[in-house]
Amino acid sequence: MNGSRIDPAAARPATDARRAASLLLVRDGQAGLEVLLLRRAERARDWLSGAVVFPGGVLEAGDGEASALVEGSSDAVLSARFGLHGGMLEHALAALRETFEEVGLLLACGEDGEPARPAAAWSTWRSRLQQRQATLAQACTALGLRLDLRRLQAFSHWLTPPGTPTRFDTRFFIAPAPAAQAAQADAGEALELMWLPPAAALEPARGYKLFPVTRRTLQELAAFADVDAALAAAAARPAPLPLVMPRHARTRKGPTIVVPDHLAFAEVCRLDPEGLAHDVMAELVAGQPVRLSPRILRVTAPNPGVMTGPGTNSYFVGDPQADRWALIDPGPADPLHLAALQAAAPGPVRWVLATHTHRDHSPGAAAAAAAFGAVVLGRRPTHAQGQDSDFAPTREPVDGECLFLGEGCTLRAIHTPGHASNHVCWLLEQEKLLFTGDHVMQGSTVVIDPPDGDMAAYLRSLQALLDEDLQWLAPGHGFLVAEPHAVLRALIAHRLRREARVVEALRAHGQAQLDEMLPQVYADTPPQLFPVARRSLLAHLIKLREDARAVEQADGRWRWLGD
């Protein structure tokens, strides 16, 4: 999930970063979209040494002079894409100049608008530009050319985080490669030029040295089938294009850099808004407490696995002034985890809350309540299968009830049946942060296992959360998640797409056993997950039965009833 829109660094320009621009030149190859990359020469004490990058570089004093020679765009148009009043044409022109210098391709046309054809004089001007003996405007005037921005689009905006030797504030542009020209490496800067499908450039076997920004940009480009699709998507991105600032963070292995596709990105941005801290963990480590706000402390249980991801998150929630705390999801009954919770407890714990009674969430409740002298709140399971049958709450919370932990700390219960019929999310109202248990997990879809799991109820519960004012999700498994509404809408869309495939399979078969439909409906799922997927398939079929669109026959086969 892209967390960049919540990045507070986006609000301020970086004064210590060099202004830079880069051009993604794309063309349609035999296997689809290809992008031009260059491998930098190996040089001692050069941080760019050997890196595979897109053409680009920093702005030069004369770059703006070529503004009068531009065809097909304007400073106002390009600047608006970045939410600015001016200055972005100069960046685009710098990208064009750097591209000409580095790879010999010039986005230019004649006075008649026809694509420019290279002439002998081009190489002379290329070396003058490389040696800073001329400006792009002088080169174009001498060659009788105009700069052709008719198909150029703004693409993205990246800022090197603080704590990096040289910081760049880089605007990325994308344009189709000029058809009548052939790229030629500049022996000084570029060792090798490569036209590659973006996914191929990412293959580990190639061993390319890729900066986080290059890697992320290649991942984005890999989603596009051809040049037209890439340009259309760039044009459709809403303005202003968000500023993306990676963050220095750490894992148990040492320092790391996180970018928006990293699961930890939104959380790291929240905990290190300026990018100055460098010590935020980009990994969920069992037993290691993480302070998410003055009101929230997370301790992850040592139960990682296929169904639990990095482990179950237990959250202490409270008002530091009132010093009254609740513990949401005590996790499995594991003495190690209880010891970690006792060591991490920020103050007196009065309540132990269970979002639901699956065995990775509630079995630790009794021991935690005894250790802290707390009462247990949670709804009892309505089906026995897969549940913590020993769960014995002091009280069962009802939908809408509030738990007051202090002046500035209110938890509101939201009954969210679906994953489990007794599932309750807790909303920390002051932070618009929802503890989601397993109703929403980070990075994976949750299991809906009938009869306790109910697909129709699950979709209703997701839909109901869209009416809540939310800023963050704190899932039972995973890091904090930003942009909750976008995430909820994506989850609903994902389930409805799956339902459409179930309908398709039923229509095709007329009537079929679960196992006959499974490989077709879950063609995108690894076969080792089929036993779990089979339960979700059943949940979809039960929903279709409730919708009167399918029926289960006496022989166990499901029959399509029509639309």
Query: Please, which residue, 356 or 540, has the CB nearer to Zn ion?
Result: 356
SS3 430: helix
Restricting to residues 473-492, name those near Zn ion by CB under 5 A. none
Cα–chain-centroid distance for residue 217? 13
At closest approach, how far in Å is the CB of 359 from Zn ion? Answer: 8
- Out of 75, 220, 431, 438, which residue is the one contacting Zn ion (CB under 5 A)? 438
* CB-count burial class (<10 Å; 0-12, 13-18, 19+) for 222: middle
CB 22 within 8 A of CB 211: no
Q: Which runs of E-coded beta strand occur in 285-408?
A: 290-293, 296-300, 313-319, 324-328, 349-353, 375-377, 402-406
- CA–CA dist 385, 378 (Å, integer): 18
Residue 325 or residue 391: which is nearer to Zn ion going by CB? 391
Closest approach of Zn ion to the CB of residue 437, in Å: 7
Handedness of CA 329, 333, 336, 339 (dihedral sign): positive
DSSP 473: E
- Closer residue to Zn ion, CB minimum distance, 81 or 358: 358
Q: How far is the CB of 420 from Zn ion (least distance, A)?
A: 6
Restricted to residues 132-191, the positions that interact with Zn ion (CB under 5 A) are none
Q: Which is nearer to Zn ion, 247 or 361 (CB)?
A: 361
Rounded least distance, CB 390 to Zn ion, Å: 16
Of the pair 220, 438, the CB lying nearest Zn ion is at: 438
The contact pattern for Zn ion, residues 338-367, with x = CB under 5 A and - = no contact, is --------------------x---------
Distances (CA, A) of 333 to 302, 356, 471: 11, 15, 31
Q: In the complex with Zn ion, which residue's Cβ is closer, 59 or 441? A: 441
CB of 59 or CB of 424, closer to Zn ion = 424
Strand order, beta sheet including 349-353 = 290-293, 296-300, 313-319, 324-328, 349-353, 375-377
The C-alpha angle 554, 557, 559, rounded to 5 degrees, equals 100
What strand order describes the sheet that includes 409-415?
402-406, 409-415, 424-428, 433-437, 472-475, 481-482
The least CB distance from residue 412 to Zn ion, in Å, is 21
When the beta carbons of 57 and 418 are compared against Zn ion, the nearer one is 418
- The Cα 300–Cα 288 span in angstroms is 7
Residues 34-53 that bind Zn ion (CB under 5 A): none
If binding is defined by CB under 5 A, does position 439 make contact with Zn ion? no
Q: Smallest distance, Å, CB 309 to Zn ion?
A: 12
Least distance from C-beta 544 to Zn ion, angstroms?
Answer: 24
Q: How far is the CB of 307 from Zn ion (least distance, A)?
A: 8
Number of residues lying near Zn ion (CB under 5 A): 2
Binding mask 67-106 for Zn ion (x = CB under 5 A): ----------------------------------------
Is residue 132 exposed (0-12), middle (13-18) or buried (19+ Cβ within 10 Å)? exposed
CB of 517 to Zn ion, least distance (A): 25
Query: Which among 277, 329, 349 is positioned nearest to 474, based on CA atoms?
Result: 329
Residues of the shown chain interacting with Zn ion in the complex, contacts defined by CB under 5 A: 358, 438
